[in-house]
Structures are given as structure tokens and as C-alpha cells.
Amino acid sequence: MSFDESFDFIIVGSGASAVAAALVAKSHGMSAVIIEKSDTFGGSTAYSGGVLWMPLNPFLRDGDSMEAALKYFDATVGAPSPASSMERRRAFIENSPKSIEFIQRYGMQFVHSHWPDYYSDRPGGSKEGRSLSAALFDLRELGDWQDKVAHSPRVPEVPVNTPDFVRMTNARTYYKATLLAALSGWRLMLNKLLGRKVRGSGVAVQGRLLQIALRENLPIWLESKVASLIVENDRVVGVVVEQAGGQRRVEGRLGVLLNMGGYAHNPEIRNKHQPFGLDPRWAWSCPGDTGDLLGQTQELGAYTDLMDESIWVPGSMAADGTSFFNAPTGTGKPHHIMVDGEGRRFVNEATAYMEIGQKMIQAKQPVWTIVDSQGRAKYPWGPCLPGSTPEEWIRNGYFKRDDTLDGLAKQCGIDPATLRETVDRFNGFARKGVDEDFERGDSVNNRFIGDITHKPNASLGEISKGPFYAVQMVLTNVGTAGGLITDEKARVLRKDGSAIEGLYATGNTSATVMGRAYLGAGASIGSSFVFGYIAARHAVGAND
């Protein structure tokens, strides 16, 4: 079989694991190429909050163990499943610190996020958190590539990492958050005065990884779409690449790693598996998240799971179509609750965003966030700083406002008596500091999301001071969670459990090892990073 070019390992997509996988190949004397269909590097990881959930990571002061991490999986994800087999769980946990140590040798800089696991009080949960972020990064260090890092047009280009942004939501009430906001403002001013391009979050992760890739002379092909896999004797041996100059047949002697995201921007696939009335504007992943090659892999015998699931981050949509993230960093603050179309609470508003989204799907629609004037005075909502609510938001209907709860309920089409009963019951919980219905504020993570200065519970605050506000919630997401079933070596599996030789998958291309749960900040990026590392090691024949 003839090829236009040959490599030992092909990585399709430039998401979280691309650079680490290519470096694994190079470190074993093998060649690898990263093929990206867009004109920028980084994929949905660059669009993201840039956090990685990594068990056994070396930053944990209280330590960690395989036993504790597995207990946490059991308590949160539940029984093993095709996507989240016991073997895959063990492989992810065991290789998490190994992949970190490996990429750090090349200059990657991580910082501990100190973000508690999302279910931190469950068996095996970490109260100090297993999540890591990348250190802030100045894109100017990339030289001619500084404008080639992908970036979400809906996320401000600021020198702040996501965990610090969450802390800054309490800048009106907590002095440490105020100081952090001031520091971030100072950095932003220096960016403008000195022409710096210091960035945080996903841009920092992918910017620094791109710097490593360039320093190591790793081949990166942008604006190169993989149109199909090349198969010979039931083994994937390469890919057909579409570029401006035409098609090229590229050999992958040791295999091909599919790392090109999920199908968040593919209406046909989403409507088939997720008939929830999703608006395309509610997907925050990169535009290239279109389910490429999913059909061909299924023709090869690959099977899928969790196709109805996404990484839900419930939010709201302004009148101009702009969507915001609001759960749980908004809904989990004191003086906020979420109610269904009948005016009843249905979820812990400070829990993991994926769970809130799942409960929204089950709830009677529409779903609303109710907040009083105390909440608006103390905490931001989307881009709106505390202490003010734009009158334009009231006029165009994005925010509903009324001096009384009864009046607000009528505007939302909710029975006033039901909403009053819900609020009265919640206010009783807020006064006692105990949510008897949904245990909101009991976990360390709930309190991290809330406001440490608020007593007696950092997450519970009465809704009692008018005027009152309501915002309709929508089911936004940062990508899909279903996809190809893979084994503990990241090999794509057939329905009979056999592996398709030469074909690997990671990230949102694969069905997540987290199942239908989200264990902590950066769960999707962390697992993507680790399984890309695992795939490359298996392909090159590396044995521990």
C-alpha cells in the first residue's frame, strides 16, 4: 500500500493529550504527527477552564491512594460499566501521576487548584482536591505561533485561572477574594500597558504545551482534516488527510489516536441521541467538535456508549443569543435557588454542574433561578458584577423582576402559592443552616462554591428581600461525554470485546471513564490527557 508520508504514530486532533502522546513516541525513538483540521491549536481544551482532575498527583499535601480513588469512583460513578470498567479506572488512576511527571520533564508547569472534589464528602473524596491548573502563560513566548492557540470568543482574554475566577465571585464579601480580584486587575493592566499576552485557563494549558511541542520539533499540521481511516487486513494503518493542496495518504505504522473531540456541534448526532431541544448556541466546545470519523469507526465494528450524555453546565441565554455559565457558581451562592416549571426545587444548586444538568432534563420545564436583592447585591451573574442589574436585561425579558414573589411567579407562569411555599421552606433551612431536602452546603465543595463569610451555612441564604428576580435556565454544555468504547490501553473495542488493531481513542471521542458523573473540576481534560499518554505508550511498546 502506497503512502505520501509515513510516521510511526498519528494523533488526530490537538486537544489535551496530543503533545504528551507525541512526546511519548519521540522519547522512544519514534516519529509522531499531530493533525488538526482548524487553523488554530488546542481544540476544546483551549476553549475550556483548563483544569485537570488527576488522582495521586504529587501536589496533594494530604496524600492519595489507589484505594481512596477507587472508593471515590465507586461512591460517585457507581458500578463498573463498559465505559468505566474497573480496568480503565485503575489505569487512569495509576497513570495519572506518571503522565504528570512525564510532561513536567519537558517544562510543563502545573499548580494545585485547591478545588475540592465535587463530591468531596463521599468515601474517597478529597477535600483539598485532586485538580490541577497550568501556570499563567504569556503567549508572546510562542513567537510566530502566538496567535495560533485556539480561544473561545465568549471567554474574556484575561490573566486568570478558572479556580481563581471562582474565588473572585466573592470579591464583594471576602477580603482574600477582593485582593485576588485586585491582583488580577493589576495583571490585566500590565498586559495592556506592556503589550503582554498573559493568559490563564485552557489557553495557558495549550499555550505551554504548544511551546513544548515547538521546542521538541514535533510536526503539527494545521488546516488538515482527516477525511477517513486507511484499513488493511482489519488493522488501521493510516489516514487520508485533506489539505489545501489536495489529499494525502499518511501512514501510521504503530497506530492512530483519535483525539478530535465529540459531537457537540453535530446536530444530526445530537438530535438522535439527545432529543432535549438543545440550541446549537448552548455548546461551548470548539467548532470542530463535529463527530468526525464516528461513522467509519462504527463500520469497522466499534461500539459506543453514553451517547445521550454531555458535560452539562447549566446556564442562561440573553436576548441577543449570548449564553452564560451560571451553575453552580451562580446558583450555588446564598440567596439563590432553582425551581422547576411548577415552582418547586429539584436539585442541590451547588452540586456538580453535570448532575444539575441531568436533573434539569428530568424536571418539569421551564427551569428558573430565583434570586433576591441580597443575592444581586453580593454576587455576580454571568458578566454582570454584583450591585447592579442592567435595565436592558429587564426590558428584553432576560431578567424578570417584581417587588413581590407572587408577582414574580405570575411573570414566570408559576403558581404563586407553590413558589411561596418553596421559598418559605428554603428560608427555614437557610436560618438553620441545614438543607433538609437536598443537603446543599453540607460538602466542602458546596461551601467552596458558596460564600465562606455567610453564616450559618456558606451556601444557604434567605430569599426574603425584594425586588425579586428570575432567570430562565438552559442546558449549556462544554462537550459530549459519550463515544467510542475503549479498554485500559485506550484501544477502540468492538462489541465482542476485541480491539480494532491500530486504533486508539481518548478525550470526548471516547465514552468517558467517569460514566454519568463528574468527579471533580477538570475530569474530562484529566482523563483525556492520561489516556492519550497510555495510548502512545501501548503503541510504541513501552512497558513499565
Residue 129: Cβ within 10 Å count: 27
Query: How many Cα atoms are found within 13 Å in the side-chain-facing hemisphere of 462?
Result: 10
Q: How far apart are CA 113 and CA 99, in angstroms?
A: 18
* Buried/exposed code over 1-25 (b: 16+ C-beta within 10 A; e: otherwise): eebeeebbbbbbbbbbbbbbbbbbb
Cβ 21 vs Cβ 102: under 8 Å: no
Residue 436 grid cell: 433538609
pLDDT beyond 70 at 520: yes
Q: How far apart are CA 24 and CA 101, in angstroms?
A: 12
The CA-based angle 451-132-442, given to 5 degrees, is 35
Q: What is the 3-state secondary structure (H, E, C) of 24-45?
A: HHHHCCCCEEEECCCCCECHHH
Q: How far apart are CA 400 and CA 470, in angstroms?
A: 5
362: enclosing H helix or E strand: helix 353-362
Q: Which amino acid is at 69?
A: A
Query: What pLDDT, on the 0 to 100 scale, is given for residue 446?
Result: 97
Query: What pLDDT, on the 0 to 100 scale, is given for residue 1?
Result: 76
Query: What pLDDT, on the 0 to 100 scale, is given for residue 407?
Result: 98
What share of the chain has pLDDT > 70, as a percent? 100
Q: Give the three-state DSSP class for 71.
A: helix
Confidence tier at 61 by pLDDT (50, 70, 90): confident
Query: What pLDDT, on the 0 to 100 scale, is given for residue 156?
Result: 85
DSSP 139: G
Cβ 508 vs Cβ 481: under 8 Å: yes
Contacts of 193 (CB under 8 A, 6+ apart): none
Instruction: For residues 127-136, give the mean pLDDT.
Output: 97
Q: Which amino acid is at 55?
A: P
Q: Which of 202-206, 294-298, 385-389 has the lowest mean pLDDT?
A: 385-389
pLDDT beyond 70 at 349: yes
Q: pTM for this one?
A: 0.97
Instruction: For residues 319-328, give the mean pLDDT.
Output: 93
Cβ 120 vs Cβ 126: under 8 Å: yes
Instruction: For residues 364-391, give the mean pLDDT.
Output: 95
Q: How far apart are CA 339 and CA 342, in angstroms?
A: 7
Domains and CATH numbers, the chain: 32-215 (3.50.50.60), 314-472 (3.90.700.10)
Query: What pLDDT, on the 0 to 100 scale, is given for residue 37?
Result: 97
Q: Which residues of 426-519 form beta strands (DSSP E)?
A: 468-472, 477-480, 483-484, 491-493, 499-505
Express each pLDDT in 478-513 by its tens digit.
Answer: 999 999 999 999 999 999 999 999 999 999 999 999
Q: Which amino acid is at 133?
A: S
* Buried/exposed code over 487-516 (b: 16+ C-beta within 10 A; e: otherwise): bbbbbbbeeeeebbebbbbbbbbbbbbbbb
Q: Give how far Cα 188 sits from Cα of 158, 185, 195, 206, Å.
A: 6, 5, 10, 20
Q: For the chain, how far is it from start to end, CA to CA, in angstroms?
A: 34
pLDDT beyond 90 at 438: yes
251: enclosing H helix or E strand: strand 246-258
Contacts of 81 (CB under 8 A, 6+ apart): 305, 515
What value does the mean pLDDT of the chain take? 96
Q: How far apart are CA 499 and CA 489, in angstroms?
A: 10
Express each pLDDT in 163-222 by its tens digit.
Answer: 999 999 999 999 999 999 999 999 999 999 999 999 999 999 999 999 999 999 999 999
Cis peptide preceding 82, ω within 30 of 0: no
Q: Give how far Cα 463 sits from Cα of 308, 338, 369, 408, 421, Å.
A: 35, 12, 12, 13, 12
Instruction: For residues 333-359, give the mean pLDDT.
Output: 98
Query: What pLDDT, on the 0 to 100 scale, is given for residue 305?
Result: 97
Query: What pLDDT, on the 0 to 100 scale, is given for residue 154?
Result: 87
Confidence tier at 388 by pLDDT (50, 70, 90): confident
Query: What pLDDT, on the 0 to 100 scale, is given for residue 544?
Result: 60
Express each pLDDT in 257-283 by its tens digit.
Answer: 999 999 999 999 999 999 988 999 999
Instruction: For residues 133-138, give the mean pLDDT.
Output: 97
